[in-house]
Amino acid sequence: MAKKATSKRKSPVRKKVTPKKVNSNPDEVRLNKWISSTGLMSRRKADEAIDEGKIKINGRVVYELGVKINPKLDVVKYQDKALRPPKDKTYIMFNKPKKVLTTMADPTGRTTIGDFFPANEHLRLFPIGRLDWETEGLLLLTNDGEFSQEVIHPKSKIPKTYLVKLDGKLNQYQTRKLLSGVTIIGGRVKALHIERVKKLTSKVENKEYEWVRISISEGKNRQIRKMFAKVGLDVKKLRRVAIGSLKLGTLATGKYKELQAKDLLQVFEHVQFKPMKELKKSDSSKKASTTVNKNARTKVPRRSTKK
C-alpha cells in the first residue's frame, strides 16, 4: 500500500531583533570628572579618594571609579562635606621656590605651596602637575578641573621648558642621545630641544659647570634629572621657565599672579624654537660642542580655552 504523502511544514522565519540602544542621561557625568570640576582636587586625586572610601553619594560610600552621577539630583560628599562647583574659575601662575612640596597641605608640617596663599584663596586651588622638592620655577594652579586635564594630558604634547645647571659639560654625543631618546623608569623619553645658555655660565663656573635650556613634552617623575643621569651628568639646579609659550618672566620666587584668558591661550600655542646648527653625522670626538637639528620643532595645536 502506497504511503500517503505528507507535506513538510516550513519553520517560521525568525527575524533578528536588534535591541534598541538606550541613550545615556546627558546630565550624568563621571564622578572623578565632577569632583575635579569643584576645584577640590585633580581627577587622579579624586580616583584615589574614591578608592580610599572618602567619597559618598547620597549618604553611601562609593568605591567604583567609573560610576556616574547626576549633579542635579545626587549629593556628593568628601569626608562628610558636600561638594559644589565654584562659581568663578581661577588660574594662577606661581614661582615655586626650592625645598617646597607641590601640594596645598602636608600632615607632617613640611612647607607646601599652600603656605604661599591666603587661607581663603587656596582652599579650592590645586596644582596642575608637579615640581619635585629641589626644583623651582613655573607652576600653574587652578580650580578648573577640565583645564587642568587638558594641560597634563599626554595627547596635548605641551612643551615644558627648563633651565638646567649641569655638573659638567654636555657634549655632542650626549645631546644626540637626549634628542633621540633614553629609557628611564616609566618609559622612553626624549628632548624636543636643547641649547647652551652662555649668559648664565660665569667664568668661574665655566671650567666645571654649564647651563642649558631643554624642552620636553612628557611629565614623568624627576624626568629631567633622570634623563641627564642616563648620559652621565648630574643636575645641580633645575628651574622650569615656560609651559607652552607661557613664560615665567620676571615673577619673583615665592610670588604668584592671576592669569587672564590671553595668558591661558599661550599654554597651547605653537612653540617656535630658535634655529641652531646641525649635529654632525660622525661623532669621532665626544667632546664636541652641543648642537641640535634646526628642524627639531614640536607642533602643538591651538585650542580654545573655556573659562
**Residues with catalytic function:** 132
Q: Tell me which H or E stretch contains 91.
A: strand 91-96
User: In whole angstroms, how far apart are CA 6 and each of 9, 72, 151?
Assistant: 9, 67, 76
Q: Which of 229, 258, 106 is nearest to 168 (CA)?
A: 229
Are 214 and 162 within 8 A, CB to CB? yes
Are 40 and 142 within 8 A, CB to CB? no
Cell of 15: 527575524
Q: Tell me which H or E stretch contains 281.
A: none
Order the strands of the 81-82 sheet from edge to edge.
Answer: 60-61, 55-57, 76-78, 81-82
Q: Which amino acid is at 296?
A: A
Are 252 and 138 within 8 A, CB to CB? no
Q: Tell me which H or E stretch contains 65.
A: none
Looking at residue 128, the DSSP 8-state letter turns out to be E
Question: Cα separation of 243 and 264, whole Å?
Answer: 10
Q: Which of 158, 161, 142, 125 is nearest to 303 (CA)?
A: 158
Question: Cα separation of 164 and 145, whole Å?
Answer: 30
Q: Which amino acid is at 25?
A: N
Pairing between β-strand 210-216 and β-strand 235-243 as defined by DSSP bridges? unpaired
